[in-house]
A and B are shown apart, each in its own frame.
Chain A
Amino acid sequence: MKTIALYSIKGGVGKTAAATNLAYLAAKDRYSTLLCDLDPQGSASYYFKIRPNKKLNSKKLMKGGDKLLNMIRATDYENLDLLPADISYRNLDLKLDKEDKSSGFLKSALKGVKNHYDYILIDSPPNITLLSENIFNSADVVIYPFIPTTLSKITFDKLLALLKEKSMKTEKIHSFFSMVDSRKKLHGQIIAEMNQSNLNFLKTMIPFRSDIEKMGIYCEPIVHTKPRSDSAISFENLWMEIKTILQ
């Protein structure tokens, strides 16, 4: 079993769109896949039209094992299940801090689940907290959507500095350029600059397209509704690259 986390400090960078489409592609490849929606906004759950079980809360999530397993719901697609988000996750950090939980809680919570799946994808909330540390620790690879702008660059540098300070493995992070607009000169410059750095940047770029935004209307992954669109093809290429990294 491999865990892939989609993570960024910033919101609105295409994390959920990537998590949703990558999870769908893994399932389409006949891998038994679980998408964990840890973002209390619940966008990934919304994309799959899944509401959480009334009994689901951050306490259950922290306990993990069978209790967590019972909260998982099947999506409309074969081999793809989802652990829905719950609004109570917004207090997860407070709880972790209060209960003096280590940064390894997520890893142990997922232990009871991992035997059932080939891939677990985590859609993370956009912040840098104790939960983020947990996500970093439990993931085999962290996929970081990077909008090619100056602010993104600054935020990314800050993240790397913090991880180094905490002695965490930055090699796990693989970024991809997200919401790329080829008409913007700045995007081109930043991409060129980042590609020259020694950081892990994937070759695939996800373009800025309105059909990706429309996923919110159709509530289906774009790779399913428009498999021949260039957005869908980009997600497929991204999935191929991630698979290669994990091999």
Chain B
Amino acid sequence: MKNGRLIRENFQIERLMFNEGFQIEQTGTQIMVHSYYDTFDFLLYQQSYYLYEEDERFYLYNETEDTVYPIRETKKMPFYNSGHFENHRELLKKIIGNRALLPVLSLEIEICNFIMTNSDQKTVARIKQVKFQKLNEGETLIFVEQLKGYKKEVKMLEEALQPYLGGKISSLQQHFFTTKIAHFDYTTRINIKIKSRDTLDTVVCKILKFYLDVIQKNIHGILEDIDIEFLHDFRVGLRKTRSLLVMLKKEIDPWIYRDFKQRFKKIMQKTNNQRDIDVYLDEEDYFRSLVPPEYFEDLHSFFLHLKKGRKNELRKIRRHFNTKFFRETFMQWNDLISSENGPLLISEKAKMPVKEYASGKLKKLIKRLANQAQKIMDHEIPETVHDCRILCKQIRYISEIFAPLFSEGELKYFIAVIKKFQEFLGAYNDAHMQKAMISRYQENIRNGREGEALEQLVPALEKKQEDNYLKFIQTFEQNKGVILEFRRLIS
């Protein structure tokens, strides 16, 4: 009975009678409190993992394997994420990404331990009667652990218990279920069915509505500052909306196009600084690894400065999200994309099959990318690299949005290539921005050692920039054919 069974009210296991000298005796009672942590959308629970704290120590329980792994903390924080643990960090990161772990449930658990012994007083089975504070009164779970070599004896015990047992249950699942878990997908992974013959206006409105929903769902997490993923998903939702808007430029009323493009740009800009700082702070360990240990302290004040700056930026975001401009932008946008007659698209192309339209747009964008990449290969100018990165994002978003319209194999490979470009160009751009942030900060510092510590970072960032520039050029040269072939295929 690995996962435990419910047992009848007031059941006293010691009173079970056996032949052949078997007996059950109590060996002890423990009372403990387990505080469970999970992401707000229960990502661990969905993978059958439970992270709990007992006596200020953390444990990760895998229900499928029925195994508990002790995990060590590296630092104390009000909110935890995978980075705050010394071991099993990779596993946690894989499941929860950058999501914060929040306290979701606290249970007082009373465990009565028993052993079943044979006539030689040898233990043949261990029994646990577990009572959870939150279970309905009188309900207890019973767990039986068979000891190697005593299968027959445990079978006899289970038969004796049978008349008193209730249904099979996983206690933790029961509790998490009653915690009213509602799983929402807050990311921009699109899940809308699109067919080639659907008209452009219907599809576009559905997709824009989906992104608006994602944007709005993430606002609460940004304001509460639960973790950095809320802002990231909010921005991706906004950027994908803008990408579609740009794609549909000629099909939309010019006034609406200009107005909303500007509004979205303004909202995006208000969140730029915080996102840049988030990326910096997320790589704190990496930056520390770049300087000799004697500079750790000095680097520390730089990161403190960033954290302080982040607080200011968050304050600005909160103020901005509370403005009439912000509220009305999304209200009006919602009206525009919700109208059944689709006043958003006014050109005659609104009724054209979506596949035809999307293919044409993608073809143009791919051609632009080829030209832009050539420019970068001729001269490494950070602004051009930035433009190329934005173009890659746009191509990737549009490919992903309209993915169901194209052959899966070809598109998958194409998207993977574009993603690689984006990754290298993104790392290049991050390093560029981080260098700029350091030089801005250096202008105001008085401590010479802190300046020296930051100086140590600059060559590493320059190298990162150069490496990613070279990687991009190399990958582009290698995959030029793939891109052009995809362009030919979608014609």
Which residue, of B148, B149, B150, has the highest number of chain A Cβ atoms within 10 A? Answer: B149
Inter-subunit contact B147/A49 (CB<8 Å): no
Interface residues of A (CB under 8 A from B): 48-51, 53, 71-74, 76, 81, 219
Inter-subunit contact A76/B149 (CB<8 Å): no
Inter-subunit contact A74/B120 (CB<8 Å): no
Inter-subunit contact A81/B121 (CB<8 Å): no
Inter-subunit contact B150/A73 (CB<8 Å): yes
Interface size on B, residues (CB 8 A): 9
Say yes or no: is B122 at the interface (Cβ < 8 Å to chain A): yes
* CB proximity of A158 to chain B, nearest CB, Å: 39
Inter-subunit contact A73/B147 (CB<8 Å): yes
Inter-subunit contact B121/A74 (CB<8 Å): no
Inter-subunit contact A53/B149 (CB<8 Å): yes
Interface residues of B (CB under 8 A from A): 115, 120-123, 147-150
Inter-subunit contact B148/A76 (CB<8 Å): no
Q: Which of A48, A49, A74, A219 contacts B150 (CB 8 A)?
A: A74
Closest B residue, CB atoms, query A73: B149
The 9 closest A-B pairs by CB, nearest first: A73-B149, A74-B147, A49-B122, A74-B148, A76-B123, A49-B120, A81-B148, A73-B148, A49-B121
Which residues of the other chain, B, contact A74 by a CB distance below 8 angstroms?
147-150
The CA of A48 and the CA of B147, in the complex, are separated in Å by 14
Closest B residue, CB atoms, query A46: B120
Which residues of the other chain, A, contact B148 by a CB distance below 8 angstroms?
72-74, 81
Which residues of the other chain, A, contact B150 by a CB distance below 8 angstroms?
73-74
Inter-subunit contact A51/B149 (CB<8 Å): no
* CB proximity of A45 to chain B, nearest CB, Å: 10
The CA of A74 and the CA of B147, in the complex, are separated in Å by 6
Which residues of the other chain, A, contact B115 by a CB distance below 8 angstroms?
76
* CB proximity of A15 to chain B, nearest CB, Å: 22
Inter-subunit contact A219/B149 (CB<8 Å): no
The CA of A51 and the CA of B152, in the complex, are separated in Å by 14
* CB<8 Å pairs between A and B, sample of 17: A48-B122, A49-B120, A49-B122, A50-B120, A50-B122, A50-B149, A53-B149, A71-B149, A72-B148, A72-B149, A73-B147, A74-B148, A74-B149, A76-B115, A81-B148, A81-B149, A219-B121
Which residue, of A49, A74, A76, has the highest number of chain B Cβ atoms within 10 A? Answer: A74
Which residues of the other chain, A, contact B121 by a CB distance below 8 angstroms?
49, 219
Which residues of the other chain, A, contact B122 by a CB distance below 8 angstroms?
48-50, 76
The CA of A195 and the CA of B124, in the complex, are separated in Å by 45
The CA of A219 and the CA of B122, in the complex, are separated in Å by 10
Closest A residue, CB atoms, query B121: A49
Which residues of the other chain, B, contact A48 by a CB distance below 8 angstroms?
122
Which residue, of A49, A51, A71, has the highest number of chain B Cβ atoms within 10 A? Answer: A49
* Additional 5 contacts, C-beta under 8 A, given A48-B122, A53-B149, A74-B149: A50-B149, A51-B120, A73-B150, A76-B123, A81-B148
The CA of A72 and the CA of B150, in the complex, are separated in Å by 10
Which residues of the other chain, A, contact B147 by a CB distance below 8 angstroms?
73-74
Closest B residue, CB atoms, query A50: B122
* CB proximity of A213 to chain B, nearest CB, Å: 20
Which residues of the other chain, B, contact A51 by a CB distance below 8 angstroms?
120
Which residues of the other chain, A, contact B123 by a CB distance below 8 angstroms?
76
* CB proximity of B146 to chain A, nearest CB, Å: 9
Closest B residue, CB atoms, query A49: B122
The CA of A53 and the CA of B122, in the complex, are separated in Å by 14
The CA of A48 and the CA of B117, in the complex, are separated in Å by 13
The CA of A50 and the CA of B147, in the complex, are separated in Å by 12
The CA of A49 and the CA of B118, in the complex, are separated in Å by 10
The CA of A35 and the CA of B82, in the complex, are separated in Å by 41
* CB proximity of A179 to chain B, nearest CB, Å: 28
* CB proximity of A199 to chain B, nearest CB, Å: 39
Closest B residue, CB atoms, query A77: B123
The CA of A53 and the CA of B124, in the complex, are separated in Å by 13
The CA of A73 and the CA of B154, in the complex, are separated in Å by 13
Which residues of the other chain, B, contact A53 by a CB distance below 8 angstroms?
149
Which residues of the other chain, B, contact A72 by a CB distance below 8 angstroms?
148-149
Which residues of the other chain, A, contact B120 by a CB distance below 8 angstroms?
49-51
Which residues of the other chain, B, contact A76 by a CB distance below 8 angstroms?
115, 122-123
* CB proximity of A86 to chain B, nearest CB, Å: 14
* CB proximity of A225 to chain B, nearest CB, Å: 14
Closest A residue, CB atoms, query B122: A49
The CA of A50 and the CA of B150, in the complex, are separated in Å by 11
The CA of A81 and the CA of B148, in the complex, are separated in Å by 8
